Structure 1
């Protein structure tokens, strides 16, 4: 979870700063880019990540159990089969998911540097549908000067959380590696909290002209952070396969 938190914190510097800038502009139409309304938007977005993380963890759990399911079925008829016997098969899936997460992270880093097409282009139809929905949700009612209420602000945040995003996809794969809905949800909540500083400040940045040039080298910094996350997930996958040793810092598993 620490690695995913850092991914959200630093990866958002180069990714969210450009991709989500338009979202802040849309939300400004309903006056929810500051104060308690902006807080509700952020809470809604992070809740969406938690829901998606729970689903990813559930899928990951299914894949892991699928790998060991046949052996578990036989274990009911053979008392000599232990959990230790099943563990290598389970580690194959978790290690594979971790390595897949690493590959996606490396690709995202290259995309942030403009070396390869952005992964969001693969979901362009979904992104356009999401954009049309957000434009409808943020239309200010005619002849109304009333700002968005609690439910509207929180709901807009929920909708924001479902924006197709390569960085979120990488975090979701990490949530799937966690192997359970609870851990997957907590993983994505950690990611969401990590993105909070940048996305919180975007409410202010969106109101400034040429805000994208206010902080130089954001994309490079973000790309480096995503690469480090990819390295960490690579080592975790290889450790699950027994090719390298796990590294623990106290009770926290680094990989």
Structure 2
């Protein structure tokens, strides 16, 4: 879960800075990019992530590694043998790592962004957001708290490769509670950038900083991919799990 927080915190530097800039423009049409409205938007977005993470954790729960004791040496004692569930769980972690490495390359512009594979879904999402953010005619009433929170939840459903990588990590967590917590921390990790992008976009030459942010974000996503690779290999028994206190790094 710590890795998910770091992924959100640093990965968003090179990804959300460009992808989510247009979202803030749409939200500004409803006047929810200031003060407590913006805070509710952010809460709604993270709430969507937590719900998606719980669902991913529920799906991954069936892939929880189970240790079956098999007597390999007769009376000399039993040794743990990883079941097929653990094999699938390790494979899911390695798939997460592959997606993370691909995301890092996409952030550097080396390969096409994975969002291009979801372009049709993204277009439908964009049409929905444009409808939701249309200011009612002749209305001078500012959007209420439920509207701000709901728009944030809709934002959380934006198809995004970085979110997909985090969701795979939530599935590896292996339970709805841990999956939801993983995505919650991921969402909280993206807060600094999504709060700062509104201020950054006001600067005339803010886009000149984007390449540097992408490099920093890509490095962080690579480190996340390495962690997930080691976790997958550890689940397969190829390397040992590493614990720091009660925290399992992989």
**Do the two structures share a fold, i.e. TM-score over 0.5?**
yes
Which of 225, 246, 249 aligns to 1:230? It is 225
Greater mean deviation of Cα atoms: 177-186 or 38-47: 177-186
Q: Deviations over 1:134-185 (max 9, x none)?
A: 0111111112232211010000000000000000000000000011111111
Number of residues of Structure 1 aligned to a counterpart in Structure 2: 239
Matches within 5 A, 1:1-255: 1-62=1-62, 64=63, 87-214=82-209, 217-255=212-250
Gaps of 5+ in 1: 72-83
Q: What TM-score do the two structures reach when normalised by structure 2?
A: 0.91
Q: Which moved more, 1:211-220 or 1:24-33?
A: 211-220
> Counterpart in 1 of 2:74?
none
TM-score, length-scaled by structure 1? 0.89
Structure 1 ranges of 4+ moved more than 6 A: none
Does the CA-based 8 Å contact 2:106-2:114 persist in structure 1? Answer: yes
Contact 1:24 1:206 in 2 (8 A): no
Cα shift at 1:89: 2.5
List per-residue Cα deviations over 1:80-119 (Å, max 9, x = no partner). xxxx867433221111110000000000000000000000
Q: More helix per residue: 1 or 2?
A: 1
Q: Could you tell me how far apart the structure 2 residues matched to 1:125 and 1:206 are?
A: 27
